[in-house]
Amino acid sequence: MPQLTDRAERIDPAAYFELLMNLTRREVKGRYSQSLFGFGWAVAQPLATMAVFTLVFSRLGNISAEGVPYPIFAYAGLVPWFFFLNSVNSGTMSLIQYRNIVTKTYFPREIIPLSQVCARLLDFAAASSVFALLWIYYRVEVTRWIVLAPMLFVMLAAFATGVTLLTSALNGL
């Protein structure tokens, strides 16, 4: 068996996972520690947009959601959109933001934008819990299509991660 001489080949992948979790934790704490509502901003953004959409499109524009209450219809689209938007926005600038760490320490650079996406997963979870409460409040019937939700979420997270990695690499050039 050949002797490993390159330092990158000797580092344990569990250390990278720990770094990812620490950067994610740092991002979440840094984002919400100085804000008035704290973690509530993760829910307030899609809720406020849902209220505006409901007022403008449902009430004033008389646009139908085909049997689904319009707030549910709007919120179902806004939660994934805000996850994607916020992941890409924060991830694009992440390599610039963590410039000191990137230039002084060896680790896979992909971990920094990935930590931004992971931090936004917490926002997505909080907003999704409000979605579940809205679903109960409006007594929306659960259909067989609900089994597709986990697969669609995995596809959304993969797409957001890919776009975030691409834009952060292009921004770092």
Lowest mean pLDDT among 11-15, 19-23, 27-31, 87-91: 11-15
- pLDDT at residue 35, as a whole number: 72
Nearest Cα to Cα of residue 116 among 170, 81, 165, 44:
165
Least confident span in 35-39, 46-50, 67-71 = 35-39
Cα-Cα-Cα-Cα dihedral of 122, 124, 127, 128, to 10°? -110
- Residue 3's pLDDT is 53
> Which residues are within 8 A (CB) of 4 and not within 5 positions of it... i.e. 6 or more apart?
10
Q: What is the mean pLDDT of the chain?
A: 87
Report H helices in 1-69: 7-10, 13-32, 41-53
Lookup: tokens for 33: 């520690």
According to the model, what pLDDT value does residue 138 have?
Answer: 92
Radius of gyration of the chain (CA): 20
